[in-house]
Amino acid sequence: MKDYYYFLGVSEDASEEDIKKAYRKLSLKYHPDKNDNDDFFAERFREIQEAYETLSDSGRRKSYDQNLESHQKSFRYNVPPAIKTFTANKIHAKKGEEIIINWQTSNADIVKVLPFGLEKAYGERVFKITEFKDGKFQLLLHVTNSLLHKTIVQGITITEVFENDSEKFRTNVEDLFKSQPRTIANPKGQPKIIKIIVALMILAAALYFLIKSF
């Protein structure tokens, strides 16, 4: 059963105003139009909308709360969560190649497969990797028993393979010019090539002043 409170990042006793504020904040962050229609953000946006539509309606929320409570009580509260299996059909893949992952868990009421989001306690997902980061794609299975406040995590790393050296070189060059995620150190999300150029300019200036001083 999907945990809509978890989707919105609010507690189960959250007020209508708290739910509305959380929805507005998350919908702005994950809206596909602001994230180049990325599938990951589109899926998160759909989950956020689904959660808000249920929790913002008093009648639907009351029915949902009853079902959620019944669902949580069905779990063995004194047994920690466990991951029985978490596998991928391949750990080396080319960009755009199809990957199949399978998982099976127990004693968990919250199961996440990142970067995809909340999933059922067991299942299968088929997807294609459109982007690797530094030649790798990381999958993480988070399994939580919320009644015990215990979570375990297991990962799978898929490494990128290339048809030939020229393809690898082209990919590396494209990565240099691609915008990076915005961080405190890189608030504008500038490409790696900008950092390299700035570093070379600083080095050249340092060498110039060093030579001039002699």
**Domain ranges for the chain:** 4-74, 82-163
Residue type, 151: T
pLDDT for 188 equals: 73
> What confidence category does residue 7 fall into, taking pLDDT thresholds of 50, 70 and 90?
confident
The mean pLDDT of 132-154, rounded to a whole number, is 90
Q: What pLDDT shows up at residue 86? A: 96
Q: Residue 212: pLDDT above 70?
A: yes
CATH number assigned to the domain with residue range 82-163, chosen from the 4 options 3.10.310.30, 2.60.40.10, 3.40.630.30, 3.20.20.140: 2.60.40.10
- Residue 117, class by beta-carbon neighbours within 10 Å (0-12 exposed, 13-18 middle, 19+ buried)? middle
CATH number at 4-74: 1.10.287.110
Angle at 190 between CA 186 and CA 194, to 5 degrees: 110
Between 173 and 124, the more confident residue is: 124
Residue 91's pLDDT is: 92
Question: Helices 16-30 and 39-55 meet at what angle, rounded to 10?
Answer: 170
Residue 163, pLDDT above cutoff 90: no
φ, ψ for residue 205 (rounded to 5)? -65, -40
Q: How far apart (Å, rounded) are the C-alpha atoms in residues 160 and 163?
A: 10
Among 19-33, 88-102, 144-158, 166-180, the least confident range: 166-180
Q: How do beta strands 98-106 and 82-88 pair?
A: antiparallel
pLDDT in tens, 40-88: 788 888 889 999 999 999 999 999 998 887 776 665 557 889 999 999 9
Higher-scoring residue by pLDDT: 178, 111? 111
Given this model, what pLDDT does residue 153 score? 96
Edge-to-edge strand list for the sheet holding 150-160: 92-93, 150-160, 136-145, 110-114, 117-119
pLDDT at 75: 57
Which residue type occupies 39?
A: D
pLDDT at residue 148, as a whole number: 80
